[in-house]
Chains A and B, each alone.
Chain A
């Protein structure tokens, strides 16, 4: 009964191919700033044409990791391989990577055109080639009529596009994006996310993006590495990260989730059904279909996402397992769905989300109602870490 997660975005999964050669390889990388360990013995492979995200809270080392690839920082220990070549000690201006900076770092004294041409001019390309490429980039980011403007005459979104065009102009082997959309408003950010994905597909480049915005990482990436305190907690596809987080940290960091601590009362073999786990979460009994390493008596966490929890005023057929009785404590109306906070007699709160499928504002369930929360055996997760 092991869960399988098929490809969600596209049929692209070189990381599952044991013969695939990684394009970028971080090998036992450690980076210390004085006493502070920013990156701690980290190993990570990124494949060609992959859209890879480094996701984590600020200070988790994701930016440091990216800056080491760009060459702005040198690892204290370990090595970085790009197409099999150790690039330690290679200065940034000789690396085939380009970066889009969080602050955009546009040259304020140069026009949009000059900014985009800057990298190409460093390669001493013929003037005509540079002009042609600049024009192509301007068209790509739809800024043709702004070519002669200075950065301070542009809006935030336009500056972001110039920065993108400038970093793409040299057709880098790897494009590094440091919180590229952080300064944009939500609508523009979502639009740009899809544009970034399109660009990456059309140009066939490898993108490495640093972000603390989990939605952004989920939207654009082929794979996500969730980082915490200088180490990678999980590397997986967005669907796996969301549906099968490997730890409480990842489950909690990505999306909304109910987490209940408990003890395993029985596992698969004893239950006669391999891949089944029964957990006692302080009087709340939970049954989950999941292969896991934990054995009877282990302290684990049971986690279930609110959208996988059903809410109903009627009691389910079997109230002894996977069910939770309580009072509607709070309702969050979010437009596309409503979030119900249900509080049991012992004070525990579980969240259930319900899609607002009709325009009926007068919902059948409201504050103070006594309701039943239920979930199926394959909705929840057992987290051992």
Chain B
């Protein structure tokens, strides 16, 4: 009967109605005001710049805001020119598609590697679980940038990987690993960097699962491998979706990993954005790229939110 009470909003409101209502609003309002200030305001600035024209000035775009008196004039100078340009040069479309492809493949790889890890952690004896979680979080104690740099040392042609393979005799002394500055290196870097973000939500979903459900499945004639697909996996779906979203969204906009490990032909929107912004100093076009990226990522976030609602 407790469940009924939990899912009944009317009952909840009645229970929560203890304190004065303004304190509750205050608690809710503070984080929202914070988000509004530091997310919406910069976004609106970027949005405005994306409708502007590039100019050789400081800041490098026109028009700039010159007071409320000239507001009409200000708006009349804004246009969709930069967005139209994005559709005309295939570089941008390819960058977007390539980013989505790399993010999708990486997320799949992360799931394939992260799921067994999370499952093993969740099934480990209770006494060693905190240690296992600790080990997953451990890489965060060093800088992300340094960890990606370290991969250069491992993957470069005369790096540690080559040395290892030569030492164990899998490679001749004149051969070298040709992974560095390819998409493979990017995948390795991404999977390595994002693994904790995949493992932790999966682990928290799997750890909550009641072991007696698997016993019940077995008792009813379901062998373990089948019970995994019928019971464990469906019940871990919220974790799968959370982990996938937490990885997919930032990977799509990833700049550091493809820049450090990828080759000249590794096309990712984060790199393109960087080039437009700092290389070409074309702020309006770079802003348009950023706005489109944001819109692309809002869709999966909304799917995620919707799914979360369904689960709850």
Are A98 and B220 in contact, CB atoms less than 8 angstroms apart?
yes
Taking CB atoms and an 8 Å cut-off, the chain B residues in 220-245 that contact chain A are: 220-223, 226, 230-231, 234-235
Report the separation of the CA atoms of residues A69 and B220 in the bound assembly, to the nearest whole angstrom: 14
Task: Please report the C-alpha to C-alpha distance between residue A120 and residue B213 in the assembled complex, in whole angstroms.
Answer: 17
**A78 interface hit (Cβ, 8 Å):** no
Nearest-CB residue, chain A, relative to B213: A105
Q: What residues on A are CB-neighbors of B234 within 8 Å?
A: 109
Q: Which residues of B contact A155 (CB under 8 A)?
A: 1
Residues of B within 8 A of A167 (CB): 219
Is B216 located at the chain interface by the 8 A CB criterion?
Answer: yes
Asked if A156 is at the interface of the complex by the 8 Å CB criterion, the answer is: yes
Contacts of B215 in A (CB 8 A): 70, 72, 92, 99, 101, 105
With A152-B3, A155-B1 known as contacts, the answer to whether A107 contacts B223 (CB < 8 A) is no
Query: A367 interface residue, CB < 8 Å from B?
Result: no
- Say yes or no: is A93 at the interface (Cβ < 8 Å to chain B): yes
- Indicate whether A122 sits within 8 Å of B221 (C-beta atoms), given known contacts A72-B215, A105-B215, A109-B235: yes
B210 at the interface (CB under 8 A from A): yes
Q: Knowing A107-B231, A155-B1, say if A170 contacts B212 (CB, 8 Å).
A: no
Interface centre among A92, A103, A153 (most CB of B within 10 A): A92
Q: Which of B1, B4, B213, B219 contacts A92 (CB 8 A)?
A: B219
Q: Are B216 and A99 in contact (CB under 8 A)?
A: yes
In the assembly, what is the distance between CA of A189 and CA of B170, in Å? 69
* Bound form: Cα–Cα A170–B219 in Å: 11
Interface size class of A (residues with CB under 8 A): 20 to 34
B220, A118: Cβ atoms closer than 8 Å: yes
B46 within 8 A of A: no
Q: How far is the CA of A160 from the CA of B111 in the complex (A)?
A: 36
B231 touches A91 (CB 8 A): no
Q: A204: which B residues are within 8 A, CB to CB?
A: none
- B216 CB contact (under 8 Å) in A91, A101, A156: A101
Contact A107 B219 (CB under 8 A): no
User: Are B3 and A105 in contact (CB-based, < 8 A)?
Assistant: no
Query: CB distance A101 to B212 under 8 Å?
Result: yes
B143 to chain A, nearest CB (A): 41
> In the complex the two chains form, is A105's CB within 8 Å of B221's CB?
no
B217 within 8 A of A: yes
Contact status B220-A170, CB under 8 Å: yes
How many residue pairs bridge A and B at CB < 8 Å? 66
Enumerate A91-111 residues with CB–CB distance to B below 8 Å. 91-95, 97-99, 101, 103, 105-109
Task: Say yes or no for A123: interface residue by CB 8 A criterion.
Answer: yes
- From the candidates B212, B220, B235, name the one contacting A122 in the complex (CB within 8 A): B220
With A101-B212, A105-B216, A107-B213: A93-B231 Cβ-Cβ less than 8 Å: no
Cβ of B218 within 8 Å of any chain A Cβ, yes or no, is: yes
User: Please, which residues of chain B bring their CB within 8 A of the CB of A170?
Assistant: 220-221
Contact indicator B219/A108 (Cβ below 8 Å): no
A57: CB under 8 A from chain B? no
Please state if A70 and B222 are interface contacts (CB–CB under 8 Å). Answer: no
Q: Which residues of B contact A122 (CB under 8 A)?
A: 220-222, 226
Name the contact of B223 in the complex, choosing from A91, A103, A105, A109 (C-beta under 8 A).
A91
The answer to whether B218 and A92 have CB atoms under 8 Å apart is yes
A119 at the interface (CB under 8 A from B): yes
Q: Which residue of B lies closest to A103 (CB)?
A: B212
Contact status B216-A107, CB under 8 Å: yes
Tell me which of A93, A109, A118, A155 has the highest count of chain B C-beta atoms within 10 A of its own C-beta.
Answer: A93
Say yes or no: B221 contacts A119, CB within 8 Å: yes
Given contacts A155-B1, A156-B1, contact A118 B222 (CB under 8 A): yes
Nearest B residue (CB) for A151: B3
Contact: B235 with A93, CB < 8 Å?
A: no
Tell me the nearest residue of chain A to B211, going by C-beta.
A105
Give a binary string over B81-114; 1 marks a CB under 8 Å from any A CB, 0 the rest: 0000000000000000000000000000000000
Given contacts A108-B235, A152-B3, A156-B1, are A91 and B218 in contact (CB under 8 A)? yes
Distance in Å: Cβ of B221 to nearest Cβ of chain A: 4
Interface string of A63-94 (1 = CB under 8 A from B): 00000001110000000000000000001111
**Chain B CB within 8 A of A166 CB:** yes
Give B1-40 interface residues, CB cut-off 8 Å to A.
1, 3-4
**A150, closest chain B residue (CB):** B3
B4 contacts across to A, CB distance below 8 A: 153
A152 to B8, CA, bound (A): 13
In Å, the complex CA distance between A152 and B1 comes to: 9
Within 8 Å CB of A105, what residues of B? Answer: 210, 212-213, 215-216
The list of the 6 closest CB pairs from A to B, nearest first, reads A119-B220, A122-B221, A105-B216, A105-B212, A92-B218, A93-B218
User: Measuring CB to CB, which residues of chain B are less than 8 angstroms from any residue of chain A?
Assistant: 1, 3-4, 210, 212-213, 215-223, 226, 230-231, 234-235
5 pairs, A vs B, C-beta closer than 8 Å? A92-B219, A94-B221, A101-B215, A152-B3, A166-B220
| New A-B pairs, 20, CB < 8 Å, besides A118-B217, A122-B226 | A70-B215, A70-B219, A71-B219, A72-B218, A72-B219, A92-B215, A93-B218, A93-B220, A93-B223, A105-B216, A106-B216, A107-B213, A118-B220, A118-B230, A122-B221, A123-B221, A153-B4, A156-B1, A166-B216, A167-B219
